[in-house]
A and B are shown apart, each in its own frame.
Chain A
Amino acid sequence: MCGIVGLFLKDKALEPKLGEMLTDMLITMTDRGPDSAGIAIYGNDADQNAKLTVQSDNADSDFATLAADLGIVLGTTVELNRRDTHAVLEMPADKTAAARQAVTELRPGLRVMSEGDTIEIYKEVGLPQDVANRFGVSNMSGTHGIGHTRMATESAVTTEGAHPFSTAPDQCLVHNGSLSNHNSLRRKLVRDGVRIESMNDTEVGAAYLTWKMQNGSTLGEALEGSLQDLDGFFTFVVGTKDGFGVVRDPIACKPAVMAETDQYVAFGSEYRALVNLPGIDDAKVWEPEPATVYFWNH
């Protein structure tokens, strides 16, 4: 199972409501994935700054003086905005690579969820309603976002097994399905220097796309490549800083529905997830074709 929702806004007037619309879509997909839930939200670009989203099981102690401690190591000002078990660390864009290393040294229990100019990822174990409430997803704004409700198959029900997965700045992936060649592909990618942090199959999918793009592929080409190199079932939704893409494996047994209006492009594992979107009755609604890459860009 698993449920996926995605929303790419064309109409800027809807941006303040992105979190609210995504939350409604996510909760509708609870019975496809009640184990865990997560969301990647692409907020507004903070000029010269970039963001690192981190998670901790001991957030009170880990986050208490983190901004100051990190600021000293990096020699700059770091701003910390906490949302439950997650915190977004904002700093000059050229400091994120050093910060990524520094946070795990300063706080060994910390997990980096995402890194980039606009992306923030929040994910935890629990019902989607509870997860969305903990992070206050409904009051988030942004240009596009992707959510996932998980029914675990390939790895344990843990925070790090929840989706979305991010393996490169401002990129993320969510997945409905299961990959059967993820162990061999993980070994190959790790040998090539790709960082993979969990035993989850989807993270390997995300890392594969990152690896393809690092080797000169466009996102579209990387998604095309996944049709050849990934074995198993998948409906993928990917996010980049300014775009949103969808691809399904050639068998296409994992469901997918898309809707497009002048205001947005929306994705749902089922039509149910889309029914409360504005103007849905007049939207173009279709099922994405198997083995076909769809992509929208700002």
Chain B
Amino acid sequence: MTPKSGNLSPQPYISGTIDMQTFDLEAEGLRALNTALHAQNDTTNQTAWEVINPKGSHAIAVGLDAPIEVTVKGSTGYYCGGMNQQATINVHGSVGPGVAENMMSGTVVIEGDASQYAGATGHGGLLVIKGNASSRCGISMKGIDIVVHGNIGHMSAFMAQAGSLVVCGDAGDALGDSCYEAKLFVRGSVKSLGADCIEKEMRPEHIELLKDLLERAGADAKPEEFKRYGSARQLYNFDVDNAAAY
């Protein structure tokens, strides 16, 4: 029997969302990984990626701009997930300095600890650190939301401009030094507040905001247990009484 013409030719194989793209970083190298991830766009069907053998490498999954999910199986070095847009990046390990630096949107979740300046200068998206973050967490943040399940180090949220920093544990010295309009929430102790940072009233809208962030970050904490800190707004403008200091 002769097949009829028409729709009988086999359909090309399309790897759907159920197919995990596994990338061996040690074997294939960083540039190949980031090139492959940058090739994805809004309509990609290669939406699930797994990076194996990260071995502390730098700049893993940096500059992504597609709604894909990348899981890094191990610990990373500097700048993991930097400049992220849209993507969801999970790290099953700890990360070095500058994780999610300048993130624009999307989600970065770290199962372990983060080194210094996590989420620095971030404009948007959500950064979740399930362990501790060290110094300068959220420095100069510009709209990113950061939720740390553990503690944060000194000089965190320095010059923070917008967004929220939520800390379920304790904060180190000089929290929120010279900050602008970022909202800082800490459940535990604050070793010291930085210049022009003060404790502020927790109003219903802050409880709502915090409830949503804690939920999205999978953090087991009640919003009512937190204190809010922010700018006293005394450093915003030049004060003629301080002229002698310049």
> A residues engaging B (CB < 8 A)?
250-253, 255, 257, 270-275, 285-287, 289-290
Contact = CB atoms under 8 A, between A and B. Distances in A.
B96 A271 contact: yes
Nearest to A272: B56
B135 A290 contact: yes
A272 B115 CA distance: 14
9 contacts: A252-B134, A253-B116, A253-B135, A270-B77, A271-B77, A272-B55, A272-B77, A286-B113, A290-B154
A286 B113 CA distance: 8
Interface string B53-87: 00111000000000000000001111000000000
Given A270-B77, A272-B57, A275-B55, A255 B94 contact: no
B154 A270 contact: no
Best-buried of B75, B76, B78 by chain A (most CB within 10 Å): B75
B97 interface: yes
Contact of B75 (A251, A252, A271, A289): A271
Contacts of A250: 154
B153 interface: yes
B80 to A, nearest CB: 11
Interface string B124-151: 0000000000110000000000000000
Classify chain B's interface size. Answer: 10 to 19
A1 B113 CA distance: 23
A133 to B, nearest CB: 23
A270 B56 contact: yes
B56 A255 contact: no
B115 A287 contact: yes
B12 to A, nearest CB: 40
A272 B78 CA distance: 10
B77 A252 contact: no
Nearest to B114: A287
